Amino acid sequence: MRLRAPGRFSGRSGRRGGVARAFPLVALLAVVGLVLAGCGEASPYSQITPRTEKASDIQWLYELIFWLAALVFVGVQAFIIYTVLRWRRRNEDRPEQIHGNRRLELAWTIIPAVVLLAIFIPTAQVIFDHAAAEEEADFVVDVYAKQWWWEFHYPDIPGVNEKPVITANEVRIPQGADVVFNLRSNNVYHAFYVPQLSGKNDVVPGHNNKMQFVADTPGEYFGECTEYCGIAHAWMRFKVIVEPEENFNAWVAAYRQPPPVADARPETADVVEAPASFGTCLACHNISGTNAVAAQDGYQANVLSQGAAPNLTLLGCRDHIGAGVLENNRDNLIQWLKNTKEVKSGTYMPNYYQPAEQGGLGAINDQQVEELADYLLSLKPAGGCPPEQPVGGTADVSLSDAP
């Protein structure tokens, strides 16, 4: 069967029609662009509001790739639209056959190669610069990814051997410090990601990845696990709090002191007693500066899985529990202790409240649950909790759904 030869595209009206047809697409792209620009400012998980030089480098690469891709997209679309309109079948002409045209083949080999080089060279440059910076950083934080929470150790702060500072799901760093996070896992792959501070990095069992940055803007920066790691992957959120150095030092000092309680017995003035029901919890949890210190004698570097459970020191100052699953308040602590497994599916904390016949351990009753919630909330420094820092380093970021 012979194909009907397409005719030559002619006439102004057709050309106007083409432009008119392209208009909705352009309008749609403009609206999507505006919406995306709006999203960027609103979320503390935004990838396009960098707050460190490191994140800005990545943002710069992202923009470079975006605009090069946009150029390629517009170019290709323009050719497609032109070809479709120019060689519509109802016209008489057949297009000239260009198979084997050397100039064209060279052009469409060289142009993509140039585009790829324009992406590759700065990308490689940034990767090497960042790798070098990891080696030079001098404020070390060891990160241990757990199922399903994060533990942070400060191996180099003064006095660490006598009084280690180990936190969970919230890590404080001094403003302007050249920080390197050592990322480790003792179970499965996780990924450590604080979009406003740096790129994403895998946390791999048996391998120490690093992440470096210098955060100059005080603020709270939100991070999460970004490698699917199992049932509670979505509830592995954490916060990096960047604060002036004196605040950081004050917090470290407070972390090592017992929290004040009205009825502390004089003979144990430096050791605050936890309620007896906390004895069950000591199998896994620690609280510095109180008599509720179960394991751990001095700091041991590079010991994986130091804490079987989050260190609860100064828990009263934390916004959230369960790596973001609940806000930290009395009702929610009670809920956590009564319905641990329901609140966070897959958590490795046993349910101690539920009667044994319902599958729980039945070790604590209603009254003890309340007593424990009050006790946990009382774990605050004598001088009150550290001052809050603005989310995302700016006061105007909306926080609606962030932990």
Could you list the residues that contact ligand HEC (CB under 6 A)? Answer: 148-149, 168-169, 232, 280-281, 283-285, 308-310, 321-323, 336-337, 344, 347-350, 352, 364, 372, 376
Cis amide prior to 148 (ω within 30 degrees) = yes
For residues 60 and 66, give the distance between their C-alpha atoms in angstroms, rounded to a whole number: 10
CA distances in angstroms from 129 to 53, 55, 57, 65, 123, listed in the order given:
12, 13, 10, 19, 10
Residue 213 or 251 having the CB closest to ligand HEC: 251
Q: Look-up: residue for tokens 């533990």? A: 151
Nearest distance from C-beta of residue 216 to ligand HEC, angstroms: 28
Residue 137 or 232 having the CB closest to ligand HEC: 232
Residue 134 or 273 having the CB closest to ligand HEC: 273
For residues 82 and 236, give the distance between their C-alpha atoms in angstroms, rounded to a whole number: 50
Cα 58 to chain centroid distance, Å, stands at 15
Nearest distance from C-beta of residue 285 to ligand HEC, angstroms: 5
Nearest distance from C-beta of residue 344 to ligand HEC, angstroms: 5
Amino acid at 205: P
Provide the 10 A C-beta neighbour count for residue 368.
18
Nearest distance from C-beta of residue 63 to ligand HEC, angstroms: 36
Nearest distance from C-beta of residue 250 to ligand HEC, angstroms: 21
- In the bound state, the residue with its beta carbon closest to ligand HEC is 281
Residue 51 or 285 having the CB closest to ligand HEC: 285
Q: Contact, 223 vs 130, CB < 8 A?
A: no
Nearest distance from C-beta of residue 177 to ligand HEC, angstroms: 24
Closest to 298 (Cα-Cα) out of 201, 166, 160, 108: 160
Residue 219 or 403 having the CB closest to ligand HEC: 403
For residues 231 and 292, give the distance between their C-alpha atoms in angstroms, rounded to a whole number: 30
Residue 63 or 374 having the CB closest to ligand HEC: 374
